[in-house]
Structure 1
């Protein structure tokens, strides 16, 4: 028990270092996020809880791989100096859908793995109903964003000149699909865990569902469109909180807080024994 608390506390401390680095756009320690997820993985593996350790371990391993892949590049002062540009093919930029998948696949995969493990025996009306309401709100936000962008382009021809409205609407709709899938899957997981009496883990899954909202605005921002189109409905965009010189990335920092806190609560809630009958996950 003490070792488990030590691992959770150390993971939370590393997560705080990572969030501080995101907030200031200057990583305090490059491997803070990697170590935080690694400590959570270790906590899941050493736990003696009767819960499905393979599912939690697999889910965190996926997140750990992405954390390693996205480790901040160390600053190299030797790169400063003159830079010459010559003729040549321009690198192909990823589409908004590809960008959305690259952002959402770790969390979405982790949630789906846990959902497969805990899918049986946890569906109860009192726990499913809030999940349905939450899913409706996430779908509603995505719909409002798509409709507002389309309306902004159609209503102001000068700003939308040269823009194919149908293609733009399709691109925005495709960009919101991965975050939308993450939000709905996380709410389903939260309902299943609550049905098993895993309320702490359920709150962590709910935070991962909330993560879909800022990710949705980030993915929409990758779609080429007229400036400020539909920006009045972007509640979770990067400029929702005014950046400052000392805190240039407040919204990404809050997004990191929500994500890492969600993983922390999932691990804390799934590595403790539950006395409730039927708390064990279904075998896949």
Structure 2
């Protein structure tokens, strides 16, 4: 009887628990509060038993960062109260809090992508792939610029003092700081996708592209964490929480879709990077003649 390899069951379990976690986000009620933790834990185990490329610490280190963040953000047990920091609308706006809110959302994914990029960035740059990534990077950066400029124009055009006398420059600065971590995630993920494609890791490259897509709703969520007047908050938002109309039965479709795409990105990255002991050197073609 052929022995069962441990890799496929671990991967199937990771996919199943990722689906449970996304379903819990969709209905705003965790199906099982440890679903995300177990999904990433099984994915880490899958990477270890399937063989990771050299340096062998890179993929486990990236997954460990994600796992620690999942543990940190585990939903509270039923019946317990979570301390929530309330921002008073009439208080002075703490400018660094915009950056902190964005960093809280995506520090783990940004760190994981940066770790992988340091390993795969060498000899992985092809002109055609790099050109496509540059166009995508312009779109991501352009969306961030449009959001910040639109909010600045809206606040500037409002004749009333913002937040009971607070200088209108403060929210614009806060928004500009808030978009920096998601923007860094999007650009770094695109750089990783380019490097992986150059090494022939197309499945992993697709996962990195998905992470760049995830950066867009993170960007809008970061802006949403900054206190803004209603007329300025969502005029140009394309990936905010109300981009898909919530219902009573499905109150959080956009966050659930974001979580599903993000976990799918991690799955593709790990599956695309396992099974080889070292990065594949990019193949270059010599010019004829």
Q: Partner residue of 2:128? A: 126
Q: Partner residue of 2:29? A: 26
- Distance in 2 (CA, whole Å) between partners of 1:233 and 1:149 is 9
- Distance in 2 (CA, whole Å) between partners of 1:70 and 1:198 is 31
User: Are residue 193 (structure 1) and residue 196 (structure 2) matched?
Assistant: yes
TM-superposed deviation, 1:63: 0.2
TM-superposed deviation, 1:274: 9.4
Aligned length, in residue pairs: 268
In the superposition, the TM-score normalised over structure 2's length comes to 0.87
TM-superposed deviation, 1:3: 2.2
- Distance in 2 (CA, whole Å) between partners of 1:218 and 1:20 is 19
1:51–1:202 distance in 2 versus 1, CA, 3 Å = farther
User: Are residue 103 (structure 1) and residue 105 (structure 2) matched?
Assistant: yes
- Distance in 2 (CA, whole Å) between partners of 1:152 and 1:145 is 11
1:276–1:33 distance in 2 versus 1, CA, 3 Å = closer
Instruction: Please list, as runs of the form range in 1=range in 2, the aligned pairs for 1:139-218 lying within 5 A after superposition.
Output: 139-158=141-160, 160=162, 162-218=165-221
Shift >6 Å, 4+ stretches: none
- Distance in 2 (CA, whole Å) between partners of 1:11 and 1:115 is 24
Secondary structure of 1:123's aligned partner: coil
Contact 1:197 1:276 in 2 (8 A): no
User: Are residue 46 (structure 1) and residue 40 (structure 2) matched?
Assistant: no
- Distance in 1 (CA, whole Å) between partners of 2:280 and 2:15 is 31
TM-superposed deviation, 1:53: 3.0
5+ residue gaps, structure 1, are 80-89
Contact 1:154 1:160 in 2 (8 A): no
TM-superposed deviation, 1:51: 4.7
Secondary structure of 2:125's aligned partner: coil
- Distance in 2 (CA, whole Å) between partners of 1:255 and 1:246 is 18
Q: CA RMSD in A?
A: 2.4
Contact 2:56 2:277 in 1 (8 A): no
In the superposition, the TM-score normalised over structure 1's length comes to 0.88
Secondary structure of 1:39's aligned partner: helix
1:247–1:119 distance in 2 versus 1, CA, 3 Å = same
TM-superposed deviation, 1:102: 1.1
5+ residue gaps, structure 2, are 82-90, 284-289
TM-superposed deviation, 1:164: 2.0
Contact 2:52 2:59 in 1 (8 A): no
TM-superposed deviation, 1:276: 9.6
1:184–1:226 distance in 2 versus 1, CA, 3 Å = same
TM-superposed deviation, 1:277: 5.4
